[in-house]
Structures are given as C-alpha cells and as structure tokens.
C-alpha cells in the first residue's frame, strides 16, 4: 500500500515533467532561426503503477519524461542528399560552360573565329584579283597569323580553365577531408553522451548539417548500427555510424576516417596531348585508389571531373596484337574510327601510362602504322623500363589496352581535340594546295607550306615533306605481318591549336607564298588562290588522310558553328538541370522543415499547454500540502 505522502510524489512527477516540456519548448523557440536545428519533443510516459493489494488493484505512480528526442524524418534527408549531389554537379558544369561559351563568342565587341577567318579569306579574295602584289600578299599573311593567334589564345584559355577546374578539385577534396574529420569527432562525442542513455540531439543536428554540405560535393550514404554488448546481451546505447561516398567508398567509420590525397601527375603521366601539366590524381590516405571515374561519384566533384577530363568517350583503347620483349615494345590494334584517323589523335608526346590488362606500364614514345586502307590502326609503344612495377611478358598479348578512361562528357579535352583536329585538317589541305605539283612562289621557285607549328625552342615544325605530288607521303604500310612503324613526329599530329602558326619565312617575305602553278605563268595568275578559296565553303575540299570530308561533315567556315553548338547545348542542359534541381532543393527542404522545423504557433500552443500542466501540478502539490498540514498538525494525538 502506498504511503500517505504518495500523492505528493505523484504531483511532483507532473511538476517535473511539465518543467521538462517547458524547457524543451524554450529550447525550440530559442533555436527557431538556427540552421540545421531539428525541433525537439519531450516524450512522456506513465510511471509503472504500484500494487496496492486492495480491491482497486494498482495505484498510478505519476508520469516520467523518458526522452527528449528531435523530430526528423531520415527519408527526406536521403532525398535531400540525392538531389543536392545532382545540384552540385549541375552548378559546377554550368559555371565552367559559361566560360567556354565566352571563349567561343564572336560578336561586334569580341572578335572570334568568324571574324578572323572571314578577314583572312577577304584578303585571300583580294589576292586572287592582284596575285602579283607583295602588299596584298603581306596583308593576307597578317590575317592568316591573326587566325593562328585566335587558335593559340583559345587553346591557352582552355588550358588555363582546366587548371582552374583542377585547383577547384583540390579545394573540394580539402573540404571533404575536413567534413570527414568533423563527423568522426562528432561520432565520438555522440557515443560518449548516448552511452549514459541520453540523446545527443544537438550533436546529431550538427552531423546532419555536415552531411548536407558533404552531399553537394559527392554522393553520400550513411548506415547507423547499434552496438551490443555480446557478453551481457544488452544494447550499450552507442552506435557504429558509417559514411560512404562516391559509390560506396568508405569515408568515415565511427571514430575513424579516411582522407583523400591529391597527387599531381608527372610529365610522363600525362593522359591527353593538350592537357595542362600537373593535373591531380586522387588516392586514399591508406594507399587505395580513389575511383575517380566512378559513374556514381556524384556532386560537385563529378561535375569538375567531367569538365576537366571529359573526352566524349573517345579515349585510346585496343587489343595487344604483339609483344616485343627484346625492344620492350607492344603493338596495339585499334578499331574505333576516331583512333584510325591521326588527325583526331590525343596521345601524349611526353609519355604516359598504358594499361595492358590488369597491369599498368609507362611508355616514353610511340609510333603508328597506316595499313593498306590508309587507316592508322596499329600503334607501337616503347615502354619505359625505369618506371612502373611490372615487367613486360608475352602473356600481355591479347589483353585489352587503354590509356586514360572513358569519360562520357564533352569536357575541356574534347574541345581541345576539336580545335586540334580542325587546325590539322585545315593546315594540311591548305599546305597541300600551295605545294601541289609545279606550284611556284613569287620568285619562280618551288613553293613552301604556309602553316607550321611552333616548337618550344623557338623553331617550327616543318611539314614540307608530308606531301609529294599532291598526295600524302604514305607511312610504312602494314602488310603481310610487317610491323614497321613511323614515329608520330613525321605527321601533322605535332600541330595543335596552341602551336598553330604561319611560316616565319613567309612572314618575313610574303613573296614566298605560292599563287600559281608553272614558272612560265604570269604573276597575275591565281589558280592556286582560287583553289584555296574553295576550302572555305566546300567540305569536299577539306579531306583527311582517313578519307573523311569536311570538319564533322561541314566546311571550314562552319567550324565555329559545329563547336559552339556543342558548348551551347551542354550549357543549356547544365542550366536547365541547375534550375530544376534548385527547385527540387527548395521543395524537399520545405518538406523537411515542415517536419523538423520550429513552428512559432505550435510552440506557443505547447507553451500554454505545459504552463497549464505546470500550474495544475503546483496546485496539486499545494492541495496535498494543506491536507498533510491538517493531517499532521490538527488530527494528531
């Protein structure tokens, strides 16, 4: 049977519980504007009743506040993270594609490709009317150099943009590492508190806010598992909290966390010919590879990787057809059209890494072979025995070979390749026409090519021997098992948008420019100039060694339209995605706030409700006090 003071204790529990509710309400109201704060609620439960061993059985023992829990729906957290990673990816793409659009802009205020190209061809048309004039030739050569300058500048701008993206990748990695460290610290603090049976609500809110931020950089998944004492078979109250990112790679495991390390590529690790030097490779601090090209990487990091390394899936790949152990060489058979056309080649001239099956080697040089169909379908790589941990073996024959990775996006490498392909195609056909059979310069001497490539030592690549009798001087054909190859430096592969230039000889003396065939023809004859003019509007006159005509099926004057359409389409997609995911961000966040956010009106109602409960409990205590006063002082013997 309960004591005579049992009722006072029951009233006291009500007072304590109401006070807990008031304190929780006050905390909610105080944190109404706190970012990431989740509304808290005092969870009440009736105390276990006391058996009275009387006819009425048990007596209620009051109320107890068993927990103060935050109100949060993890379903909306997951939805928010999924959307946030898409928003981060789209935002980073939209920003850099806007820069790309600006680079290719051609307006009255900003002179671009069309302006430079048309000025050069206007001068060429004037030259066709006055082919013997040194002044008109000089004007044409000046405008030709302006066209080269345009390609030089835009290639350099793309290279600088790639460096900017690369540095932002490093900054993003630093942020991810910082968040990982903070989450691991919070995990430890949360477990210390919750081992005592309390709920670390504020710390959990801080952790959730960090996960929100992390989800904008990479895809995020979490898993929380209670830790049981297997010896005594009870729940300790602590939890194992794991955070995985970028398609399941572990970032945080309770108190432990991994960091990502950025390592710049060495010169002999360059992937694409026009890549900026020192692009970062990512690894985990424990030595494991970070799966940089995982399609599930998500977030800002995915957008940056696609912009920095996006090659539109056009990367070097093939099958090892032969292994030369004596010379430490491998020959790769390729089948993709873009690999068979050397004008589209993006292989590095400074060496790189090549994967043969599961083993990675370093190559320091490469050569190619044109087969009987004039296709560059065989590449021979000279491996560097001073790098890498694998020794070449015959077992590599028949293995899949690849350099770099397939990145299904039109990023900076893709646009660099488009620029390089165009200048090679344009320069090659332009030079072919002015060095055709019997072509002579203003002095009656055999003509020289106009477009060359500047080298790093201040000289120029000379392609004078590339054409003979109006056709390409064929590299060693691969027939009947012959594997002889020609080095890449015997081709227009060396010519890129960054080194595209006019011949220094012709710049100094424009009369070295050929305008006619046959020395006996008069100076005013301009049959070569007329052929050059046709290149501008005729795709038939823009022919690759591979046999394709035109730049992407169009004429030379349509170059900008072709490339700008890619940029504009990608930019429009990124902008539309950014707007869509921003809208979804607001919708999902509002849904989260409707559940976990603090509602002033609701808290005002709770304030009155708990205040009334507190007043009633106080009144009950006062009533019992009066009863006990009468019982003890006035009825005692």
How far apart are alpha carbons 398 and 408 in whole angstroms?
26
- Of the chain, the percentage scoring pLDDT greater than 90 comes to 54
pLDDT per residue over 561-615, tens digit each?
888 889 999 999 999 999 999 999 999 999 999 999 999 999 999 999 999 999 9
* Count of beta carbons in the 10 Å neighbourhood of residue 184: 19
pLDDT per residue over 37-95, tens digit each?
999 999 999 888 887 766 667 878 889 888 888 999 889 999 999 999 999 999 999 99
**Which residues, in sequence order, are CB contacts of 293 under 8 Å at separation 6+?**
305, 309, 405, 406, 407
DSSP character at residue 48: P
**End-to-end C-alpha distance for the chain, whole angstroms:** 23
pLDDT, position 465? 55
pLDDT per residue over 525-538, tens digit each?
778 888 899 888 88
Assess whether pLDDT exceeds 70 at residue 4: no
Closest CA to 198 of 63, 48, 40: 40
How far apart are alpha carbons 560 and 622 in whole angstroms?
89
Identity of the highest mean pLDDT range in 205-209, 346-350, 440-444 = 205-209
Arithmetic mean of pLDDT, 465-470: 45
pLDDT per residue over 139-178, tens digit each?
999 999 999 999 999 999 999 999 999 999 999 999 999 9
pLDDT, position 487? 55
How far apart are alpha carbons 135 and 123 in whole angstroms?
11
Where do the DSSP E strands lie in 254-293?
256-257, 260-264, 280-284
Q: Is 19 exposed, middle or buried (0-12, 13-18, 19+ CB in 10 A)?
A: middle
Whether this model's pTM surpasses 0.75: yes
**Which residues, in sequence order, are CB contacts of 266 under 8 Å at separation 6+?**
none
Give the Cα-Cα-Cα angle 266, 401, 363 (nearest 5 degrees): 35
Q: Is 250 exposed, middle or buried (0-12, 13-18, 19+ CB in 10 A)?
A: middle
How far apart are alpha carbons 128 and 302 in whole angstroms?
52
604 to 72, 149, 416, 601, 610: CA distances (angstroms)? 20, 70, 62, 5, 10
Closest CA to 205 of 493, 596, 559: 596
pLDDT band at 244 (very low <50, low <70, confident <90, very high): very high
Per-residue tokens: 66: 């068993």
pLDDT, position 373? 65
How far apart are alpha carbons 501 and 134 in whole angstroms?
20
pLDDT band at 508 (very low <50, low <70, confident <90, very high): very high
Give the Cα-Cα-Cα angle 343, 310, 258 (nearest 5 degrees): 140
How far apart are alpha carbons 526 and 523 in whole angstroms?
8
Assess whether pLDDT exceeds 50 at residue 315: yes
Per-residue tokens: 168: 């932002």
How far apart are alpha carbons 202 and 224 in whole angstroms?
17
pLDDT band at 472 (very low <50, low <70, confident <90, very high): very low
């Amino acid at each position: 049977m309960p004591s005579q003071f049992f009722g006072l204790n029951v009233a006291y529990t009500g007072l304590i519980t109401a006070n807990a509710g008031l304190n929780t309400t006050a905390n909610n109201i105080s944190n109404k504007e706190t970012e990431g704060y989740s509304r808290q609620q005092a969870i009440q439960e009736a105390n276990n009743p006391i058996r009275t061993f009387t006819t009425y059985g048990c007596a209620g023992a009051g109320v107890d506040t068993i927990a103060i829990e935050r109100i949060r729906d993890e379903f909306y957290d997951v939805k928010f993270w999924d959307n946030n990673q898409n928003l981060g990816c789209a935002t980073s793409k939209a920003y850099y594609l806007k820069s790309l659009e600006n680079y290719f802009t051609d307006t009255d205020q900003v002179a671009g490709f069309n302006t430079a190209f048309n000025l050069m061809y206007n001068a060429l048309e004037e030259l066709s009317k006055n082919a013997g004039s040194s002044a008109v030739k000089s004007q044409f050569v000046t405008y030709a150099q302006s066209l080269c300058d345009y390609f030089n500048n835009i290639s350099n701008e793309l290279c600088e943009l790639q460096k900017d993206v690369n540095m932002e990748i490093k900054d993003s990695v630093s942020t991810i590492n910082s968040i990982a460290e903070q989450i691991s610290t919070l995990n430890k603090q949360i477990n210390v508190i919750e081992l005592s049976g309390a709920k670390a609500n504020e710390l959990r809110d801080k952790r959730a806010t960090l996960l929100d931020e992390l989800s904008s950089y990479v895809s995020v998944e979490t898993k929380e598992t209670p830790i049981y004492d297997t010896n005594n078979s009870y729940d300790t109250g602590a939890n194992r909290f794991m955070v995985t990112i970028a398609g399941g790679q572990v970032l945080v495991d309770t108190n432990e966390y991994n960091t990502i390390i950025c390592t710049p590529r060495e010169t002999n690790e360059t992937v694409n010919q026009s890549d900026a030097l020192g692009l970062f490779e990512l690894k985990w601090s424990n030595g494991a590879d970070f799966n940089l090209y995982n399609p599930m990487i998500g977030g800002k990091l995915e957008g940056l990787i696609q912009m920095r390394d996006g090659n539109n899936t056009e990367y070097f790949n093939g099958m090892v057809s032969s292994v030369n152990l004596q010379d430490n060489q491998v020959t790769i058979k390729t089948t993709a059209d873009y690999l068979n056309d050397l004008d589209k080649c993006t292989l590095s001239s400074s060496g790189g890494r090549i994967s043969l099956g599961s083993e990675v080697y370093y190559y320091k040089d490469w050569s190619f072979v044109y087969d009987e169909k004039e296709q560059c379908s065989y590449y021979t790589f000279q491996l560097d025995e001073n790098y890498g941990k694998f020794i070449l073996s015959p077992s590599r024959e028949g293995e899949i070979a690849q350099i770099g990775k397939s990145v299904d996006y039109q990023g900076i490498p893709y646009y660099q390749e488009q620029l390089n392909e165009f200048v090679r195609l344009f320069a090659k056909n332009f030079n072919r026409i002015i060095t055709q059979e019997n072509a002579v310069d203003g002095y009656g001497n055999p003509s020289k090519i106009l477009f060359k490539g500047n080298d790093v030592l201040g000289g120029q690549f000379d392609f004078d021997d590339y054409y003979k009798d109006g056709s390409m001087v064929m590299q060693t054909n691969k027939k009947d098992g012959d594997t002889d190859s020609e080095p890449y430096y015997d081709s227009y592969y060396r010519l890129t948008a960054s080194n595209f230039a006019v011949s220094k000889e012709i710049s100094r003396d424009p009369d070295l420019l050929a305008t006619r065939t046959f020395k006996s023809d008069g100076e005013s004859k301009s049959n070569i100039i007329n052929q050059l003019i046709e290149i501008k509007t005729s795709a038939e006159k823009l022919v690759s060694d591979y046999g394709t005509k035109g730049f992407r099926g169009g004429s030379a004057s349509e170059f900008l339209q072709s490339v700008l359409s890619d940029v504009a389409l990608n930019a429009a997609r990124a902008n539309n995605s950014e707007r869509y995911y921003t809208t979804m961000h607001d919708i999902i966040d509002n849904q989260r706030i409707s559940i976990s956010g603090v509602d002033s009106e609701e808290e005002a109602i709770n304030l009155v409700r708990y205040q009334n409960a507190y007043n009633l409990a106080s009144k009950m205590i006062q009533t019992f006090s009066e009863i006990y006063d009468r019982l003890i002082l006035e009825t005692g013997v």
